[in-house]
Amino acid sequence: MSGQGEAPLVAVIATGGTIASRRGADGASTPSLSGEDLLALVPQISARLKPVDLMAKDSSSLTLADMQRISDAVGVELNDPAVAGVVILHGTDAMEESSLLVHLQHVISKPVVFTGAQFTADHRHADGPANLAQAIETALDRKNAERGVLLSFGGRCLPAWGLYKRSADAADAFRSARPVAHDSGLNFAAPVTAMRVDIVAIHPGCDATHIDASLQAGAGGIVLAALGSGNANPGIAAAVKRCAERGVPVVVSSRVPEGLLVASYGGGGGGHDLVAAGAIHSSTLRPGQARILLAALLAGKTPAEKIISAFKDSPLS
């Protein structure tokens, strides 16, 4: 326990990513800095820092099992009474997925903040130290626990729900599709390690080849990165019906990054028709986060009607 008058303790969980990367002799950037190395780069801050070296991976290579490890590690720190807040250093490619999983699986009793970097630690415009310093300050504000899991990045503080990466090369890289409070009354504690949920990209004129391949590969659920507000074509609607007949849920999201998704179009393969064929419409979550929510729901053996309601959102109060 912290002694009286001691600065608060913030756990900093290092998982790799660009923030921990340097460019090697071959020109490739790989995670090579430990949590302690990264904390040494942070300007003077009014907190004690506890580095936790969990893994050193590019987030593009993370599996659901890796994300579960991250979520479990956050749980350990949340249960440590000496820890005032938790910061997770993470790659930007899958930041939205891991942060949502943590948000779903835990009662956030103290601030939990993800951050990372767009530029490597040895880049002339390295943004990692500033992002980390801001994330620690965010984790020190006890009121932030009420907001669920947060992302502190590029000068912004965003909620995990609805998060997406908007830019591959800008320091201000993230936005939220539609900030919402999500309270489904469901228990998301079941681990997602063994789940398989695939994302299938929809494009004009596409057929059901990849949906059928996912079924054959044993996917427990499928997310469609559909067009517009969640539209496809009659062939995809027929494939959705086949999935429904096999008890494999299909969630319809969109490749469009912003805006509320409404299942209103017909024509044989529009969003309205996909729902009629048995699909679940995701009103806010884009494909990456929809996959995480669906995996969590399936891991918890959630009834079909509750899976549908879990993808509906209500505005923040």
Indicate which residues carry an active-site annotation.
18
Return left, alpha or beta for 95; rule: phi > 0 is left, psi -120 to 50 is alpha, else beta. Answer: alpha
* Number of other residues whose CB lies within 10 A of the CB of residue 32: 16
Q: Do the beta carbons of residue 202 and residue 232 sit within 8 Å? A: yes
* CA 77 to each of CA 85, 86, 149, 153, 267: distance values in angstroms, whole numbers, following the listed order: 8, 7, 14, 22, 51
- Nearest-CA neighbor of 74 among 41, 113, 19, 118? 113
1 vs 144: CA distance, rounded Å: 22
Instruction: Write out the H or E segment, with its range, that includes residue 235.
Output: helix 234-245
